[in-house]
Structure 1
Amino acid sequence: MSIFDPDSKNRLPSAPFTFQSTLNPTDVDEIAYPQSTKFYKKDEGSFDAESYLTVSSTGDAVVEQNVAINNYQKIHLNPLFMYDGDINWSESNQTLGAKFNPSSVNGLMCYVFGKEPKEKAEKVGEEMIHQDIQLYMCSLNDLMDDRRSFMEATRVDRKDIIRTIKLSNIYSDYSNLISKRIRRLEGMKSKDDISDKIYSELDTFQDIFSVWELCRIIYIPSKQEYNQFGQFSHELLKWINHCFPLPDEFFWSRLYKLILRGSSQAKTYLESIIKDGGAEFSDHIKLVLDILDSRPRTTELEYHEFNLRRHEWLSKISDLQTKLRGEGFLEGKINKILMILRGHTKTITDECSTWQEALGGLVYHRRPTCDVQELENILNVILKEKKTCNTALDDALIQFIFRKVEKGIQHCERIDLWLSAHLSDILNKLDLVGRINSQSSHQKKKFNITTQPDVDIREYCLLNYAESMVSHTTLWQLAFKYFEHCEICGYSYISQLVVRIPFEDEYKANKLLSICKHNGLTLQEKTISRRYASAIVYFINAGDTASLEVIYRMFLDYYIDTGKLTFLDTIESIQLDDASPVSIKFLSRYRLFHALKQNGEIQRAGAILMELLRAQVAPISFWPVLLLNALPLLQEGKARKMIIFSTQDTLEILRNLQDVTSFVYQDECLACIERLKKWHTQENGYSELDKNLTALRLALLQNSADCYIENSSSPWMFE
């Protein structure tokens, strides 16, 4: 994970503690080495990205490529490389190796390796190859932070979308968000200091909108549009005019294009000819204006009536063409307008600058009642006359018109991963996309991938899009929402990536743990928890009691909400002494209490519990938990005929129980009990909880009676 610009707001903050990966760098494919011998500068955590060398094996041949990385100068590692001492790495024997991330189409996994100095070698005079077990991640894609709100607004929050009008509504919502994004970027163009990146972003969103709207017209018509003939040509012409604005051209060329696009501005241009040209042009121009005004419209007529009116209208055009013969200059100019209105293929294609413009002109003027199925034949005619630019946009649009949805979506990946992900998600609900192999053919060759599960193109695109957000400071959460909607590979991605997200505070750690819990990732949950051990040691050494208190409270809250001791396992690896913070020692003793109870050493466990209660270290919100921990000890002691708590201990527990259920602490107690009820159920082996902790009171009273009976038989009672 990385952000290229060192000053970028997207750059992940470095945490003072990082997990140690159990992955072996040999598990990833395609080794790559930066070419510079002094690429890594102290305290930057980055390497130069002017070029790096990739090596891929094809049989016995080795192919070397120089790869440019979006013209950025730096690639930043996450987590940052931590120096063991005041040593400039560029002057040492270490270097950086990188391999392509097997779960990524645009990321690297990096690691440190090199020869140990002779003085550190086991045998004098030898140098040992050393490889750091820490893996670093970086992405070769940069993500604009300004796009964050847009991406959050379009997050995946549903698994199934029924094929009804709701699908059109969702598609329309996305379309509106794209339009808002375009308007915002266009507004930013008025600023004096605007980067080329903004212009590039605007171009990208305009391409996104072009593809998005074409797919709406072709694949997702509303019920009204199904029943209205000629609606398709009307929508297609609107798409042309909105997504491909007219360029600046000379008067007559622009007039022809306005006529071709069905623009109302054409009448203004014709009226200006009458005004500037005098009487010799006025009569003929007025006839052209009359023809434009009398054009039959599909939205106003029934099908048969429209065809009859259109036939009469075309006859008027032929009559005017006859009148214009011999008029010289005027004949040629106006006749070209009339040829466009008649739908003459050659005239339309010659006057169009792009194939999209020609497509709209032929549909509107030659086949105004055509449907989607006819569009493919019309485009074939155009492509014989007009050349395409072979851009990602052109290729995607053409494939969608030919109804080759999978190929169209693959070209959308070249435009933007957001587009391919959300478009495939929508079209998948219409059963318009099939299954492909999870890696395209060029990626198989590049990454030497031979065995990958087959996924539908929707999941493939969602995975790629989600992974592009993993390195972002806030959007990483959305990435996991998308992963959760990938039925085949999503779980695997979550399990691999969730432990690689660095967390600098308990708030982010809780989010990571929630992801683990939601997806049943127990091992990853423990891995994240163990990372807190490094944090605790760091804060202890730094004397940061405030941070330790935050971690301490988080551990307690986690137990209240889940009943799990995952966090407390991290305490085992920390060496504590008398000078250690009381909060951390409390956690250590509480973990020992549970270990003793689990091992059946209930008397020792009872002694530890009383020690914790008397210490008064735990916050009021945790008192009900400590008190309830006494209940299973009392019950097991009763079954084994053992006295766990003395009379004095029992009275102290009762006194604490009275405190937490009294008016003073009642709210904290009730809130804690409600949280405990989520997992403290009879199905899980616990007794029912109530606000008065009745079961605990009864057990304590019974224990008092047992203590009295046992003590009453002792000799001192009769002295």
Structure 2
Amino acid sequence: MDTKHIELVPPLVEAGKSSDLAQSGHIVSASFSPSNNSLALHLAPLNLTGSKTSTVEQPEAVYLAGCDDVPSSERRLFIADTVVIFSMFKSMLKDAHLRDPTWLQTRQALEIIRKLSVDYVNFIKECWIHASQPISRPEPLQFSVEHYRNLYSTFSLFVVLFVPEPGYEDAPVGEELMEWLNIHFIEPSTEEGDQLSSLDHPWEDENFWSYLTRSTIRGFSKASLFFLNTLLQHSSEDLQELVKILIPLVESHPRLPQFTAERDFAYASRKWKDKVKALRVEMDRFLDESYDWWDPLSDLIGILEGRGDVIERVCEELGADWKEVCAAWGIFVDTRLRRQDLPDVVADVLETMPPDPTNLEDMMLSSLFSGHADQVLKHASDFDLWLSAHLADIMEPLGLLDAELDFESGVTKRDEYVLAYAEYLRSDSTLWRITIAYLYSCGRVGEEQADEVLMRVPLSLNAATLDESLTPGDTMAEVVKDISAICLEHSRESVRRAVCKIASTMLVRSRDYGMAVSYSTSAEDWTGLGRVIDAVLDEYIQNGPVVFAGYASKIAPSMDEIQSSSRTHQIFAHRLMFTVRYSQMHKMRLDRDYPNAALDLLALLRDEIAPRSWWPILLCDAVEFLQYGPKLLFSSSDAIELLRKLEEISIRSSQGSGDDYLTVLIRTIKGGGEKEALERLKQVRLAIARYFARCTVGNG
């Protein structure tokens, strides 16, 4: 999507009526999402002094739009596979800085950089081939076959020019450029050659000389020799005589890969050029304007002579462009052309054969040929943010980009492009793991952005079910585990704790109290731990002892660890112990183990494990045990302890401290207050009085 122009359907404002909107006292307002690069658009009041009172009713609709298209399944696969190479590259650089920054200039380091760069090229090639296959797909290709071809041609040229094999940095580059040209811009076509070869007199075809010339420029010696041999049947004896000399010259054209030493190649090239000059002298003897073959043959020999003006003119006539001229220059004009000298040649060629400014591929390639790294990245970012990010990532350690921080932005040139790519990735929340891999490679600014991404991941999760923010198989536990590992790797302990706090809050909402306690403890968030315990106790108030006991059993395993930890605030450890012990008491009661349940209830009160606000609840629970038969579950002293607690509640409540004792009981009485709570406790007093009566007569 063009971030400068977003079309809404249906439109908030009709075309050409924006002035009417302002007069009505409204504007189009946008709010950016904190979790990704999407935004919400809606009408909002203008709120300017003197603006007219709004006569337009604001629509309820809110438009959600993304600054980038969400990657399709195939694009996500491309992103996920290439981040593996990116991570290996980052690991190599990290190791380099730990051992010695100068190590990056060693042959070993350059071999690794080249190997990983070639991995990118090979993977792009596979994607291009896959996209080219005429197969049925679950969804249309988000990026065309041509897009992947452009990625392939650009990245492979970058490797040819800037990541050569170690030891060959200063070697002639012409052969590699011609090989690159023949791979990515195939000319002449095989079909054209097949058509010409089927003719008895191919030289009579209007495309004969253009095909022969193009084959010679491209170094296709077999095709050139085949059609040169057909000219031996030409009716012109003069042409036959010249072709007999030309054929062995084409056949013996020295090429750098044929030699083990550049010096031997240079010597052979000079000897060969002398023979070409001799052919030129011989040809001038047959100068005759009546020969229709003389001009094209002269051009062919001019190319072999290495005449730059002839190569430029012929390429232009053939419909070729500056790329072909530059590649041919290193084969015929300057056979020892170095990479560092190529920009000077390119500059001269581009003066007469400029690149197509409307073609981003052509602009990227011309910038690469010219050695202008900044221009390459600028055009690449307009074409595909993936390309600019990964080119910049390799360019910086190679010394092609300034590694200094920009004073205003606080990021390097490399980080600028990687951050832009990471922002694009944020359009798809399922790619958060990949997004933070790029962000954490971008210094302080990237780290801060990655922290924000990580802290928002749990907010998009549902602990009970998977939603669209999760990839298949993701759970809250797995996600938090991954985030913890990431934080450990990047020394982001504060982020890990914040994520655990957020995860705990989310788990409380889904009533997964066991995991919530674990995450609060891991984050050392004792206030959060208190909220989890309160939520479990609320289960008793809202849903009764059966539901409460089931949920409380989930937090029981954490009790020993929390109590034994010196970091835990004792008030929260004490509260957790009460919750677990109280739930265990109810479990025994539900299992009809009344004697042990009664003992536990009494211990909770006598040892003051239970908070004061829960005393009335426990006393109400005690009624069942006080009325139990046939035997007594409490001793006389136990019953006195129950009465003592009841008296304290009554006295303190009459003195105005009822809030300290009665709040929980009041919540269990729907619509009741302190008066109703005290009435409820009168039933407890009556049960205790009857119990004392039973003790007096010795029942049980």
Alignment TM-score > 0.5, same fold: yes
* Bin of the TM-score, shorter chain as denominator length: 0.5 to 0.7
Tell me what 1:13 maps to. none
Tell me what 2:250 maps to. 292
Tell me what 2:621 maps to. none
Q: Does 1:98 align with 2:30?
A: yes
Name the TM-score, length of structure 2 as normaliser.
0.61
Q: Report if aligned partners of 2:153, 2:184 keep a CA contact under 8 Å in 1.
A: yes
**One-letter identity of the residue aligned with 1:145:** S
**One-letter identity of the residue aligned with 1:378:** V
CA, structure 1 residues 52+471, in 2 after alignment: closer, same or farther (shift >3 Å)? Answer: farther
Partner Cα separation in structure 1 for residue 6 and residue 398 of structure 2: 45
Residue pairs, 1:17-32, within 5 angstroms: none
Deviations 1:567-593 (A, max 9, x none): 884675796444374454556899999
**One-letter identity of the residue aligned with 2:338:** D
Q: Could you tell me how far 1:315 is from its partner in structure 2?
A: 2.0
Q: Report if aligned partners of 2:505, 2:516 keep a CA contact under 8 Å in 1.
A: no
Q: Identify the match of residue 146 of structure 1 among 74, 83, 94.
A: 74
Name the TM-score, length of structure 1 as normaliser.
0.60
Point out the structure with the larger helix share.
2
Tell me what 2:166 maps to. 223
Q: Report if aligned partners of 2:232, 2:244 keep a CA contact under 8 Å in 1.
A: no
Partner Cα separation in structure 1 for residue 507 and residue 271 of structure 2: 82
Deviations 1:610-655 (A, max 9, x none): 23456679xxxxxxxxxxxxxxx9xx99xxxxxxxxxxxxxxxxxx
Residue pairs, 1:319-330, within 5 angstroms: 319-324=278-283, 325-326=286-287, 328-330=291-293
Partner Cα separation in structure 2 for residue 564 and residue 417 of structure 1: 40
Q: Report if aligned partners of 1:296, 1:306 keep a CA contact under 8 Å in 2.
A: yes
Give the secondary structure class of the aligned counterpart of 1:356: helix
CA, structure 1 residues 395+296, in 2 after alignment: closer, same or farther (shift >3 Å)? Answer: same
Partner Cα separation in structure 2 for residue 33 and residue 416 of structure 1: 19
Residue pairs, 1:242-253, within 5 angstroms: 242-246=183-187, 248=189, 250-253=207-210
Give the secondary structure class of the aligned counterpart of 1:530: helix
Q: Could you tell me how far 1:296 is from its partner in structure 2?
A: 2.0
**One-letter identity of the residue aligned with 1:326:** L
Tell me what 2:323 maps to. 356
Q: Does 1:267 align with 2:235?
A: no
Give the secondary structure class of the aligned counterpart of 2:461: coil
Q: Identify the match of residue 118 of structure 2 among 163, 172, 178.
A: 172
State which drifts further: 427-436 or 236-245. 427-436
Give the secondary structure class of the aligned counterpart of 2:40: strand
Partner Cα separation in structure 2 for residue 330 and residue 597 of structure 1: 96
Q: Could you tell me how far 1:238 is from its partner in structure 2?
A: 1.0
Q: Does 1:240 align with 2:181?
A: yes
Tell me what 2:382 maps to. 414
Residue pairs, 1:346-425, within 5 angstroms: 346-352=309-315, 353-390=320-357, 391-425=359-393
Point out the structure with the larger strand share.
1
CA, structure 1 residues 260+34, in 2 after alignment: closer, same or farther (shift >3 Å)? Answer: closer
**One-letter identity of the residue aligned with 1:209:** Y
**One-letter identity of the residue aligned with 1:375:** L
Partner Cα separation in structure 1 for residue 367 and residue 242 of structure 2: 43
Residue pairs, 1:335-346, within 5 angstroms: 335-346=298-309
Deviations 1:303-357 (A, max 9, x none): 4443332222112212222333235222222221111111211221122211111
Tell me what 1:610 maps to. 581
Q: Report if aligned partners of 2:174, 2:330 keep a CA contact under 8 Å in 1.
A: yes
Partner Cα separation in structure 1 for residue 179 and residue 17 of structure 2: 48
Q: Report if aligned partners of 1:32, 1:99 keep a CA contact under 8 Å in 2.
A: no
Q: Could you tell me how far 1:297 is from its partner in structure 2?
A: 2.7
Give the secondary structure class of the aligned counterpart of 1:454: coil
State which drifts further: 429-438 or 333-342. 429-438
Give the secondary structure class of the aligned counterpart of 1:98: strand
**Alignment coverage as a number of residue pairs:** 505
Task: Identify unmatched segments of 5+ residues in structure 2.
Answer: 46-52, 97-103, 193-206, 467-473, 589-603, 609-700
**One-letter identity of the residue aligned with 2:213:** Y
Task: Identify unmatched segments of 5+ residues in structure 1.
Answer: 5-29, 41-47, 56-63, 65-92, 116-124, 439-450, 537-547, 618-632, 638-719
Deviations 1:374-425 (A, max 9, x none): 1011111211221210122222223233322122212211221111111111
Q: Report if aligned partners of 1:31, 1:98 keep a CA contact under 8 Å in 2.
A: no
Q: Could you tell me how far 1:487 is from its partner in structure 2?
A: 1.2
Partner Cα separation in structure 1 for residue 368 and residue 17 of structure 2: 37
Determine what percentage of the aligned residue pairs are the same residue. Answer: 17
RMSD value over aligned CA atoms?
4.7
Q: Report if aligned partners of 1:555, 1:568 keep a CA contact under 8 Å in 2.
A: no
**Structure with bigger gyration radius:** 2
Partner Cα separation in structure 1 for residue 64 and residue 395 of structure 2: 37
Partner Cα separation in structure 2 for residue 415 and residue 218 of structure 1: 20
Q: Identify the match of residue 146 of structure 2 among 178, 194, 203.
A: 203
Q: Does 1:310 align with 2:269?
A: yes
